Structures are given as C-alpha cells and as structure tokens.
Amino acid sequence: MLDINFIRENAKKIKKAVKDKGLQLDVDKLLKIDDKRREIIRKIDTLRSERKKISEEVRQAPKSKWGKLVSKAKKLNNELDRLDKEYSKIKIYYDDLMARVPTVPSPDTPIGIGEKDNKVIYQKGKIPKFNFPPKDHIQIGKDLDILDLERGTKISGYRGYYVKGDGALILMGLMMYSLSKLVKKGFRPLIPPTLVKGFALFGSGYFKGLEYNPDIDEIYQLATSDKEISGAVSKEKKFLVGTAEPSLLAYYANEVLMEKDLPLRVCGFSQCYRSEIGSYGKDTKGIYRVHEFMKVEQVILSKANLPESEKLQKEMVSISEEMHKELGLPYRKLQICTGDMGAGKYKMFDLEAWMPGLKRFGETGSASNFLDWQSRRLNVKYINSKGEKKYVYMLNNTALATPRTFIAILENYQQEDGSVLVPKVLQRYVGKKKIVPVK
C-alpha cells in the first residue's frame, strides 16, 4: 500500500507500473474517489465544529432559546449520520482500490509479461554430464526407498508425498544447515506460527485484495472456528501460511522501532502450505510443486533508505548463493521482470538450481524488496535520529526450501550404481556419505 499523496504526485509512474505489472486498476478513478472522500471528510469536520459551537451556546443561552438551538443540533446530527454512512460506503471502495496500487519497480527491472521475460544475470557451477542414462527424482526416490508418492496421494490427495529414511534426514539436514548458516550471518532464528489471522496475510501481500479470495489467493483457510478465552466462538478467520514471511513481518505490526536497532535480521523455519490453484496442470509429476513443504525464510527490516535496502537485498541473495555453492548445485541468478514480480515488489531476484530430471533450471529461492509497501499495511514504523516516525523497508528471501533443493541434490548427485552422494555439508545430519539402493 502506498501513500495517497505519493500516488497523486506520481500518477503517471503508478499508471505505468500498473500496466507493466499486468494489473487491473483505474488510477484516475481512485483519485476521483479520493476527492469525494476528502470532500466528505471536510463536510463532516465542518458539521462537527458547528455542533460543538451549538453545544457551547446551549450551555450559555437562556432556556427560552434552547428549543431553536436543539432543533438546529438535531438537523446537524441527521446530516452527520447521512455523511457518516456515505463515508463508510466510499471508504470501502477507496480501501479496495488502494490495496491494489503497486509499488513502482526499480528503474533496472526488466519490462515483461511473464517468466520468459526474466533476465538471467549469470550462471555458476558445472552442469553434470552423466556416462549413464540419468534418472529423475521420482525414480531415484523409489529405488532408494526414500520417497513414496503413491501412499502420499492415498493419504493426502493430489500432490501428497512421503519422504522416508535417509531422504527425511537430508530434508531436515537442509533446514538445520540453513538455520546454522543464517545464525552465523547475524540473523536471529524464530519458529513462527503457521496458523495466522488474515491481517498478516493482507499486510504481507498474500491477499490480492482487501479480503481473502479463494478463487485467486493460493492460501488455505481453516473451516473450523477457534474459541476465545471466554469460551465464545471466535468470528476471526484463520489461515495457513505459505511461507514464514507473513508471520515474521507481522511480529512487529503496530509497533514503533528505534533507528539504532535497524536493520533487524530474522530468519524463520516453518512448514508451508499452498493451494497452488493458479498452477493447475503445471508440474503434475513428482514433488516439484506440492501443497506443503518446509522452508527457512530470511527477513530484514531496514531504515527507509533505498541504497541501504538494495545492499541488504544483495546480502540476502549472496547467502543463498553461498549455500547453493556449498551444496555443490549448479545454479543461475535471475532478475524478475515487471509482469512476474507481484504488485508490492520494488525489485526481485530468483535463484534456480539445475535439475537434470527436468532438463532445466528450477526455482529454489526468491528475494524481494518491498520498500514500505508492506510496512504501511502492517503499520511498522521507526523513529529516526531527528525524532521523525518513518515506515521501515521490508525485504525477504528464501534461504533454502524443500523439496526443490532435495530434487536438485538427488538428481545432480546420482551415481551409475544407483546410489546418491550426500553433499559434504549435509553429511553430519545424514550420518553417511552415500545413500545406496535398497536390496
């Protein structure tokens, strides 16, 4: 969400951002609605001022004049009631439009419609050449008895899966390895809630509009109601997060931080849940695209300083790159184009690891700089050295996610005898250097 005055002053830039990001928003209509909203507010303020004056006159006037003053006050109250109702209606419309206003992307963000227009910055690591017909992760997982898709589907439904034995140790090892890495880099680890209120998802931008829309938001809503501490049934909706990001950002909602404490670096481990409704028919085999998985997320809250926030974004990406290198995975870095980056993002980079079974690179991480778009929604501010309150800038990045990193390891480290080598940095968690086929 952006400041309405900024939108007015930069209407042309906002319109271009709407177009470049492929969004549906009439900026001129928003400004007209805002004109009407401001007009109503002015009228309400004027009438309230008049009502206050009448109240003072009543206290000072003789009883003989009370009737006329009370009648005048009644008319004012009736008009105020009408305007309040009118304001409530227009405020809903205004808030809905404001929620759809995008951040103006960085000047160097590629203009494009979708993922085909993303720009490859560079590629690192040697893509393996096999002296045998390589398998995909589905066959490898079955041969090693570490992946069971059939029973996963039986128990969980479409996109369900079990990871077993040494496979489970690799997955948990990836999480512990990434958490340890981030702690060494100065990030404070958290295990955040995965069951959250709607404001956390709206605030972080995981609702496309003001409210949850099951037709477009890839979020699971709980059907069962909670109970309040009083025992009464809660009317508040609850949702499952698709990443630790909303929980980590909402931790500071409605709080005012101090500039000396910024930047704040936190990382969170969580189970993640995604309905994948927008990905129907994509990657239907294996575990590349699933409904639930584990991930470690990086989040930074910084001062409202653009150069500093861009430096911090590079820092986060470099940590993820370091982990890809230590895992021995060939990867590439992409800068995401306008049409593939989402409404609130100023700049976005993806990392993709090479996956021999897919014969292509697959996304294993994503880093985004939102500037103050999220913090305005979540109302997170800080006091600067001048005593001024500013909205913080918010950034996030995938440290490591499963199961895609798991896929890349299985497929890149497979051997001719059917075994899979365990990356050196994970051997302490798996307890062995190689996973061999079940005999």
In the chain, the domains with their CATH numbers are 4-98 (1.10.287.40), 115-435 (3.30.930.10)
Q: What is the DSSP string of 266-329?
A: EEEEEEEE---GGGTTSS-STTSS-SEEEEEEEEEEE-S-HHHHHHHHHHHHHHHHHHHHHTT-
Q: Which of 356, 337, 373 is nearest to 413 (CA)?
A: 356
pLDDT given for residue 65 in this prediction: 65
> Active site includes 366?
yes
Annotated active-site residue in 51, 289, 308, 326: 289
What's this model's pTM, rounded to 2 decimal places? Answer: 0.91
Q: What's the CA angle centered on 317, arms 284 and 251, to 5 degrees? A: 85
Amino acid found at 286: G
Tokens, residue 83: 């305007």
Distance CA 256, CA 389 (A): 8
Q: Which stretches of the chain drop beneath a pLDDT of 70?
A: 57-67, 69, 277-283, 439
Residue 345: other Cβ atoms inside 10 A: 26
> Active site includes 289?
yes
Annotated active-site residue in 100, 274, 376, 377: 274
| DSSP-assigned beta bridge partners for residue 256 | 381
Residue 50: other Cβ atoms inside 10 A: 15
Annotated active-site residue in 204, 309, 320, 366: 366
**pLDDT tens digits, residue range 200-237?**
999 999 999 899 999 899 999 998 887 777 778 888 89
> Active site includes 404?
yes
> Active site includes 37?
no
> Active site includes 255?
no
Q: What is the DSSP string of 225-239?
A: PPB-TTSPBP---EE
Annotated active-site residue in 315, 375, 404, 411: 404
Q: Which of 360, 438, 353, 369 is nearest to 403 (CA)?
A: 353
Annotated active-site residue in 57, 308, 326, 363: 363
